[in-house]
Amino acid sequence: MRTESRTAFQRGKQARKLDDITGAIKFFKAAIQLKPDFIAAYNNLANALQTNNQLEEAVEIYQQALQISPNTAILHCNFGSLRQIQELPEQAIACYQQAIKLQPDLVIAHHNLAKLLVTQERFSEADKAYQDALQLQPDAVDVNFDRGRLYHQMGLIELAIQCYKAAIRLQPTLLNAYNNLGEALKSCGDIPKAKLCFEKVLKLDDENDLAHFCLAQVLDDEGEYEAALYHCERSLALKPDRINAFYHLNYLRLKLVDWQDYEQHVAELITRTEAHLAEENSSELSPMILSMFPVSIELLKKVAEQRSQAQARSVSWMQEKLPKTYLSASPERLRVGYVSPDLRQHAVGGLICAMFQYHQRPEFEIFAYSLVPPQDECSDQIRRDCDHFVDLWQQSPLEIAQRIKSDGIHILIDLAGHTTNSCTALFALHPAPIQIQYLGYPGSMGADYIPYILADEQLIPRELATHYSEEVIYLPHAWVASPMKVSDKVLQRSDYGLPEHGTVFCCFNRVQKIDPTLFAVWMRILKQVPGSVLWLFDGKSELVRQRLKQRAETSGVAGERLIFAPHLSHEEYLANYRLADLFLDTFTYNAGATAVGALSVGLPVLTCSGENYASRMGKSVCHAVGLDQLACATHNDYETTAVNLGNHPEKITALKEKLAQNLTTSPLFQPHQFVQTLEESFRTLWQEHQKTIQMNNQIEETPTSKTTKTTSPTVRMQGSEQLCQWLTEQRISLAF
């Protein structure tokens, strides 16, 4: 009988190898019938039933086996994997823990436990489980790789890089490790090494859709837009539902002035975004890319909310590492911290670099937290004018939050939002009692942990404030401009191929802010203003220049009437504005710092406002210099005003004279005035915060129970093939 049972068991294992699950089940049952205490047959039968999606039968088999042999660790481990599939995470964890208790050296139990704890966002426990597994088996490729993914998710990038490299040393063809290592290196700013990682993947597998997408992003960062477009298209051809690649593809099209089927692409972008947001546990999208397109203010807010929530989840484990309380007593000095990757020569840094010196001491103590290595005159000035300048380059959100909390910051300002090199997750840790966003990101953060936004009534009219998750702190003028160095070099229009006579319209916004609707308006303006030209920023791409000229020709405007300014130093770039007559702003995403630069040298800016923050920056800036008449409400008004001014140079002269007079008194160029109003808002916010604390201390707190919602993935399978696929995707291991 024992021989017959063993024969049936071996035939079951052979059938399993041949993917004959039904046959395997039959033989394993036969083996058990012949030998009722055959534990290996029970284990393999349960596994086969599980693979065949016969989950309840598998549960019964595991329970029968455990009654016979309650101290067999591998049964508990595999039963745990089944409970995990059934979305019973606590039972699964208990099974894995029992397996480990019975057999402490069972690596697979430690590994499965770690992966399940990650899905439960119990990151510290997961790390301990990975550590235990690696102590038992240091050369376990999957464990090294998965631990790297955990550290990556936790924001511990340097540790993640070490784990990915360890996995690659153990298995040099592990493509996912190269992809993840590349993404980690990219987040650290090491673009060349990141690029090598993605290229390595594609050398091994040219159909790796993720590597194509990641390489496209790196090439975009390097300004290789055409090559980036190719890899983005390849990624989508291989995986059409990769929505982040679809986002980036449309962004690259803007950079390359590829406007073919533009309206259709925008409609698809909106539709796919809405569908993606409706999915459970959907990946985060880029609000910044979406803001380049004409979409609703509400959709932008939803995408920002999704991203902010994802950032908060990524650092939820860190909360226990931080002190729970803030300074409650009224301090002698309010400590204000500014967080940004752009405390350097950058659109944001150039605007704010002179404001810090005007904070009133000793009432305020100013901290600048830099997320990117400071390295220029702008950062040097900020360093001199702040009480403390802290370089936090490559530190994790937890380390940054710990530093800010130890500094006792009362009011923390996010100057970056959802932009490149920002650290939104930091604010989710609540390192300061009052957290505000300002200037760097043009829209609502959608984050309950950043409850305030600084703006004026031009940027966020009160009737639109309901579309922001933040409470709007209204300032008389939201923009601040530091004095800008302008070259004193004498320039002639002929130096740049501009006509000596005739109106020179100019727009030095980046080319991705231009869309077909705007360009059509520009061409109509040129046709109605004889002898006029449009002076644009040189995007370093001959293809872009040719496409714009071709578009002009198609619109009935000679291509030569589009002239492109070369790349110059910032001082010479500003001086160029003196050669132009009128700055024509873009629609969907207005000029911000660019408009401030134009106004600073006396060039009037004509703008048109929409609903979104990004489309209202021009209106705010114009208001700040007393040129409200140049902030149009419709495209038609914008066109009519431009034509009228272009055909009446004396009106432009009058505008320039008015602007020149206003520059000496305009609040836009008076950073000391801006800081005074800003400090008034800080005082009010802190007083309100103190009152809230006092009220809360007087209210007796009633204990409340909390329930924890699990987020295990939902499984809806129709057979063994689908279940095997799900097991593979979730990387749940079974022992046979």
pLDDT tens profile 36-49: 999 999 899 988 99
Please determine, for residue 718, whether its predicted confidence score (pLDDT) is greater than 50.
no
List the one residue out of 229, 235, 242, 181 whose CA is nearest residue 205. Answer: 235
Token pair of 358 as six digits: 């005007």
Q: What is the mean pLDDT of residues 645-654?
A: 98
The closest alpha carbon to 510, from 261, 292, 189, belongs to 292
Asked if 442 and 617 touch (Cβ cutoff 8 Å), the reply is yes
CB 601 within 8 A of CB 626: no
What is the structure's pLDDT at 1? 57
Whether residue 723 is predicted with pLDDT greater than 70 in this model: the reply is no
Higher-pLDDT residue of 709, 296: 296
Tell which residue, 281, 282, 314, has the closest CA to residue 121.
314
Amino acid at 441: Y
d(CA 32, CA 20): 19
Kindly indicate the confidence band of residue 2, based on its pLDDT and cuts at 50, 70 and 90. Answer: confident
Whether the per-residue pLDDT at 730 is higher than 80: the answer is: no
To 5 degrees, how large is the angle CA 287–CA 293–CA 298?
55
Instruction: Give residue-wise pLDDT tens across range 510-523.
Output: 999 999 999 999 99
Task: Return the structure tokens found at 81.
Answer: 């994997």
Per-residue pLDDT at 734: 57
729 pLDDT exceeds 60?
no
The single residue listed with the structure tokens 């020709």 is 553
Partners of 535 in the β-ladder? 506, 563
The token pair that represents 231 in the structure block? 């890899």
Residue 427 has pLDDT above 80, yes or no: yes
pLDDT bucket at 280, cuts 50 / 70 / 90:
confident
426: Cβ–Cβ under 8 A, 6 or more apart, which residues? 315, 339, 397, 400, 401, 404
Mean pLDDT of the chain: 92
Answering whether pTM is above 0.85, one says: yes
Q: DSSP characters for 229-293?
A: HHHHHHHHHH-TT-HHHHHHHHHHHHHTT--TTHHHHHHHHHHHHHHHHHSTTPPP--HHHHTTS
Residue burial 21-40, b: 16+ Cβ < 10 Å; e: rest: bebbbbbbbbbbebbeebbb
Task: Tell me how far apart the alpha carbons of residues 133 and 106 are, in angstroms, rounded to a whole number.
Answer: 8
Which residues, 6 or more positions from 308, have their beta carbon under 8 angstroms from its beta carbon? Answer: 418, 424, 428, 445, 446, 447, 448, 449, 450
Torsions phi, psi for 196 (to 5 deg): -60, -35
Distances in Å between the alpha carbon of 641 and those of 275, 596, 645, 657, 699? Answer: 40, 20, 6, 18, 59
| pLDDT for the residue numbered 281 | 83
